[in-house]
Amino acid sequence: MAGRTCRASISRVLGLSWGFRSEDAVVEAARPLLAAFTVEHKWPVSIATLAVDAMRIRATTLQDSPFAIDRERINRRVPLLGSALGRAYLAYCSETERESIVALLRNSQRPIDRPAGDPTYLTALVRGIRRAGYAATPPIANDPIAGLAVPVRRGSRVFACLTMRYPRRAMIEAEAVRHYLLPLQQAARAIAAAADYAGADGFGGGNKATDRLMQNNRPPPKSSAAPVCAANDGNGASAVTRAR
């Protein structure tokens, strides 16, 4: 009995270590690709990984974007059901993992986690996100910022999620999707390819696999949408204008 318990404990420790190494490798692979996205499209993007019952921001280009739209700090935790990042993770992770996460959220005392107790709502949420190909920030009172999020994955395993943030008054969701969803999805695939090339745990490595992924991840097309920036009206108030 003691031997079996010891082996099970070692297995759990190795599993956790494997997960951390995978996530770290994906985050490191993502950094130059996040920077390239912001250089091309101006908007800030972030990558986050699962942190038990929330998503943790691991890297961001907020400091490199001309649009300082919010203060998305490194290591900040964002709720799973109350963020585009968390919703994307829940929609694309395996059913077994989703069930485990939802069980945690059901025991949460945070008001934002209450929808975890509604299976019908969760089923519709997951189906809608997978059908659309992205997750969006839900309407939140007094939150002027919205986001689009997509997963970085291999098969049914989600290693991280990417999000692009923008002011709700700058453009409606449909406009953000039209101009930026494809480049964001291409960036996610490119990150998976880079992690694969680096031999990150869970990606398998191998030149043939990497070549196939890279062929599907050419540089994102330049968006035809003019970026939005804030302009002062001379009276201390700022208005959102289109950058030329």
Q: Is residue 16 part of a domain?
A: no
> Which structural domain range is residue 144 located in?
23-242
Contact in structure between 187 and 33 (CB atoms under 8 Å): yes
pLDDT, residue 122, reads 97
pTM above 0.85, yes or no: no
Residue 163 lies in a domain: yes
Q: How many domains is the chain built from?
A: 1
Q: What is the pLDDT of residue 99?
A: 95
The tokens 């939140």 sit on which residue? 140
pLDDT for the residue 141 = 77
> CATH number, domain at 69?
3.30.450.40
The answer to the question of residue 3 being in a domain is: no
- The pLDDT value recorded for residue 206 is 37
Summarize the confidence of residues 130-150 as an average pLDDT: 92
Phi, psi of 164 (to 5 degrees): -110, 130
146 burial level (CB within 10 Å; 0-12, 13-18, 19+):
buried
